[in-house]
Amino acid sequence: YKQANIVILHKSLADDFEKFCHGNDGPLPLLYRSKPGDWKCPSLSSDSDIRTDCLLYRIYEHGACTGSVKSLKEYSQQLKDMVTFYLGCSFSFEKAVQNAGIPIRNIEQKCNVSMYKTAVPCYSVSTFCCNLVVTMRPIPESKLEAAALATAELKDAHGAPIHMGDPGLLGIQDLSKPDYGDPVRLHPGDIPVFWACGVTGVEAVINCRAPLAFTHSPGCMFITDLKNDNVTVRSSREVLQVHCISHDPLHYSIVSAEAAQKIKNLETLIGTDPGERGIIHLLCKDQLLKACLSISHAQSVLITTGFPTHFTFEPPEENDGPPGALAIAAMLQALEKEVAIVTDQRAMNLNKKIIEEAVQLGILKRPVPVLSYQRESADSALKFLCENGNPGRPRFDHLVAIERAGMAADGNYYNARKNNIKHLVDPIDELFLAAQTIPGVATTGVGDGGNELGMGKVKEAVKKHIKNGDVIACDVEADFTIVAGVSNWGGYAIACALYILNTCEIHDRYLRKAVGFPQLSKKTVWLSALPSVTKEEKLLKTLVQHGVRSGKTASLEMEVDGLPFYNTHSLMIEKLL
């Protein structure tokens, strides 16, 4: 049977508390609001009396719990001016989870579920403000997707999980010390999975400091007459997938099957090989999806680009890379994330000019900070990436390299023709190597030939299948490797994939931990940040004016990597959109 969390407040607070529930419908799905002094709830139970139907109640006076009682009958006079809120409860979904063949450890261990206060702020309304409270259930890793699917449709019982993985990401320090309920032991191979919890309402009552309020005692809910009918018919928009996006700290993300398929289609599109380099042998499945899920959770992203392949020209840069980098930066700005670019000291002024013009052209909303990195000591990279070199305080949580010269096994940097260009390249690879040692900092490499930063994961395939691969192959790995026919296409695909993810209701809810309102109202801003044929045409003209040449041919024409902008790059942009 469906169960309900109970909050009883003075009628003067009822409208604000109802708004608070609607603004945080993950933890506080409102099943029923009574009239003042009404002890029944006919839509949930045919013959109920809220004064006696919970096993145990808590009394709150001015925000302090002043006791527990088994009946509220002695408060009948005060209750005449009070309103009862019946809120959905996660105990209601446990049967559905068991029906999906998933063990419920707290039932096995014959104890209450664990409940924790988090560092996630709820959407505030008037005096009602508090942080989210969650329940935790250990779920075997192989059953994560099944657990999310079993609960996603049960919106009245908090719906899908709001976090899977390391409790520290929610601000929970110690799973053995729950704030409410009992500690529940994890079995080997179990992952902590967190659902929004109605005890959030108790925290809101404490913080609003009402002269008198009542709640159920956590674990002693109101039991309704309604059975939990598990919904099984789902569209691909409602079917979800779970993907691991980090091992340190352990973190899984959720996305709809429909959105995931769209992103996989983008990956297929950019994996074509018009330059006939043999990149088909380097392609890594689902890397675009996983990289973009990770970036979607990031707050601050550092992008690097710049491949000085034309060492006899000034500037030596090629025009593959910067357009893709700016396409990613534009979408990150629209998503209100912090973004910066790191490049070679000698190319700082060129990059600043390109960025200024990108702002004037409407490609970027505002300038992107341009940084440089030099190795001055053994811990330079750590100091660059973290405040005071402290790995516990990283400045960035995702690094993206796109068409960035990558260090080969011999410590040199090579263009596709096997020319050593080390004298033109600053050691930005060290940032990617240092990131591997910093918990919570992920890396993505985008390339089209195997000599780019981040392509170390496919270096054996590069050596075997790419011309000069035995010499030029980049040795430095990224967590996620995106291989494209032209690296710019990888940048455009990342921008498009981030748009798809943030317009996916399932992913949006998971990102905001089911508190606040859907972010879809910002869709117009995100749409305007996507790359377009017009924008990319203007940007390429700007690069040509600054003497930035095509990679393969060194031509100052409207081409990238020897491929004409019109009917090749323009067509790819249209297909991605």
Band of pLDDT at residue 520, cut at 50, 70 and 90: confident
Residue 468 CA to residue 487 CA, distance in Å, equals 19
Cα distances (Å, whole numbers) of residue 30 to 86, 157, 455: 6, 10, 50
Amino acid identity of residue 188, one-letter, is P
pLDDT at position 229 is: 65
CB contact at 8 A, 494 and 328: yes
CB contact at 8 A, 87 and 19: no
Longest C-alpha distance within the chain, in Å?
Answer: 91
Residue 184 CA to residue 109 CA, distance in Å, equals 7
Band of pLDDT at residue 519, cut at 50, 70 and 90: confident
Amino acid identity of residue 509, one-letter, is R
| pLDDT, tens digit (0-9, with 9 covering 90-100), for 486-511 | 999 999 999 999 999 999 999 999 99
CB contact at 8 A, 157 and 2: yes
Look at residues 101, 337, 338, 147 and name the one whose alpha carbon lies nearest to residue 252.
147
Residue 54 CA to residue 68 CA, distance in Å, equals 12
pLDDT at position 233 is: 44
Taking the complete model, does pTM exceed 0.85, yes or no?
Answer: yes
Tell me: pLDDT of 106 over 80.
yes
| pLDDT, tens digit (0-9, with 9 covering 90-100), for 175-194 | 999 999 999 999 999 999 99
In the sheet with 180-181, reading across from the earlier edge strand, the strands are 180-181, 114-121, 131-140, 190-196, 163-165, 250-256, 240-247
pLDDT at position 89 is: 83
Would you tell me how many other CB atoms lie within 10 Å of the CB of residue 1? 13
| pLDDT, tens digit (0-9, with 9 covering 90-100), for 313-338 | 999 999 999 999 999 999 999 999 99
Residue 139 CA to residue 305 CA, distance in Å, equals 41
CA atoms within 13 A on the CB side of 452: 30
Cα distances (Å, whole numbers) of residue 272 to 89, 253, 255, 484, 487: 49, 28, 26, 7, 12
Share of the chain above pLDDT 70, in %: 98
Domains defined for the chain, CATH in brackets: 3-223 (3.30.2040.10), 263-576 (3.90.1640.20)
Phi, psi dihedral angles at 534 (to 5 degrees) = -60, -50
Look at residues 576, 566, 549, 533 and name the one whose alpha carbon lies nearest to residue 321.
549
Tell me: pLDDT of 250 over 70.
yes
Collect all residues with Cβ–Cβ distance below 8 Å to 564 and sequence separation of at least 6: 557, 558
Q: How many residues does the chain have?
A: 577
C-alpha angle 9-14-19 in degrees, rounded to nearest 5: 130
| pLDDT, tens digit (0-9, with 9 covering 90-100), for 82-97 | 999 999 887 778 888 9
Phi, psi dihedral angles at 178 (to 5 degrees) = -65, 155
Q: What is the DSSP letter of 6?
A: E
Band of pLDDT at residue 207, cut at 50, 70 and 90: very high
| pLDDT, tens digit (0-9, with 9 covering 90-100), for 406-457 | 999 999 999 999 999 999 999 999 999 999 999 999 999 999 999 999 999 9
Look at residues 245, 255, 211 and name the one whose alpha carbon lies nearest to residue 11.
211
In the predicted model, what is the mean pLDDT of the chain?
Answer: 95
CB contact at 8 A, 443 and 389: no
Give the CA dihedral 15, 19, 20, 26, nearest 10 degrees.
Answer: 130
| pLDDT, tens digit (0-9, with 9 covering 90-100), for 56-76 | 999 999 999 999 999 999 999
CB contact at 8 A, 115 and 148: no
In the sheet with 480-483, reading across from the earlier edge strand, the strands are 370-372, 338-343, 300-306, 398-404, 442-447, 480-483
Band of pLDDT at residue 231, cut at 50, 70 and 90: very low
Band of pLDDT at residue 219, cut at 50, 70 and 90: confident
Tell me: pLDDT of 2 over 90.
no
Band of pLDDT at residue 237, cut at 50, 70 and 90: low
Look at residues 32, 33, 68 and name the one whose alpha carbon lies nearest to residue 225.
32
Region of residue 275 (phi > 0: left; psi between -120 and 50: alpha; otherwise: beta): alpha
Cα distances (Å, whole numbers) of residue 536 to 266, 327, 361, 532: 18, 9, 10, 6
pLDDT at position 232 is: 47
